[in-house]
Amino acid sequence: YLAVVMDLFARRVIGWSLSANADTALISSALRMAYEVRGQPRDVMFHSDQGSQYTGLKYQQLLWRYRIKQSVSRRGNCWDNSPMERFFRSLKTEWVPTDGYTGKDVARQQISSYILNYYNSVRPHHYNGGLTPEESENRYHFYCKTVA
């Protein structure tokens, strides 16, 4: 199973975790990575579906500890979380072999490569006006420094 945290500003994947189990430990690991990558931000929003992993006490406590507010999709409505649905579609159609990976280590290496070396840094996004997530964020930070 793969859990992903995406910053919706530029559609950049900032946290992910792989596990044999779709449980709270999996999604907590992805959130911890995102939290550290973004410099331990406060008062940000985290959107997810209504899965038991995301609504359970342990995960709610982690969100509270990090001062992250949670938003959840309406029941059975994939459109509420369409950027994540689109990410997984892209991963499956652009990267994952049709017969799957030969093992966990290969899957971990290949998915990490997709996220770091392709999705965030090479793959253009319509949402970003044809820029990659990294280019979009860099442009934003450049303009913020230029204006200041």
pTM for this prediction: 0.90
Domain covering 2-83+103-147, topology: Nucleotidyltransferase; domain 5 (3.30.420)
Summarize pLDDT for 89-98 with one digit per residue, the tens.
999 999 999 9
Summarize pLDDT for 45-78 with one digit per residue, the tens.
999 888 889 999 999 999 999 999 998 876 766 6
**Interstrand relation of 12-18 and 2-7 (parallel, antiparallel or unpaired):** antiparallel
C-alpha 136/C-alpha 129 separation (Å) is 9
Per-residue pLDDT band at 147 (split at 50, 70, 90): confident
Contact indicator for 81, 47 with CB cutoff of 8 Å: yes
Strands (E), 1-148: 2-7, 12-18, 44-48, 68-72
